[in-house]
Amino acid sequence: MRKKTTSDELLLAMVTGADPVYHPNTGQRISDGETITLSPSARAGLEAPRFCQLCGRRMVVQIRPDGWEAYCSRHGTVDSSYLDRR
Ligand SMILES: [Zn+2]
């Protein structure tokens, strides 16, 4: 796997199901106490996030036939294959 940053913060946040700080589809900051609704496919990890849920940066997203990879320059890479295990 390519690694441009050593951070795995974003991966950890998504694998553990931590509450996002920024909406992964719109990049908008989520205010305290607000619950966000993700589409079922996004929740299942089928839909690639467009924005880093930790910092709201637009991520570099690569769609593959079998999934996706999203990269935040600060928080690292998330690969959809990591989110399949449940
Ligand atoms: Zn980030």
How confident is the model over 19-37, as pLDDT tens digits?
899 999 999 999 877 777 7
82: pLDDT confidence band, cut at 50, 70 and 90?
confident
Distance of CA 59 from the midpoint of ligand 1 (Å): 8
pLDDT mean over 30-49: 78
pTM: 0.81
Classify the C-alpha dihedral 66-62-2-19 as positive or negative. Answer: negative
- From start to end of the chain, where are the E strands? 60-64, 67-72, 76-79
Residue 1 has pLDDT above 70, yes or no: no
Distance of CA 86 from the midpoint of ligand 1 (Å): 24
Give the residue from 83, 60, 79, 59 showing the smallest Cα distance to 68: 79
Distance CA 59, CA 52 (A): 6
Distance of CA 77 from the midpoint of ligand 1 (Å): 9
3: pLDDT confidence band, cut at 50, 70 and 90?
low
Distance of CA 58 from the midpoint of ligand 1 (Å): 8
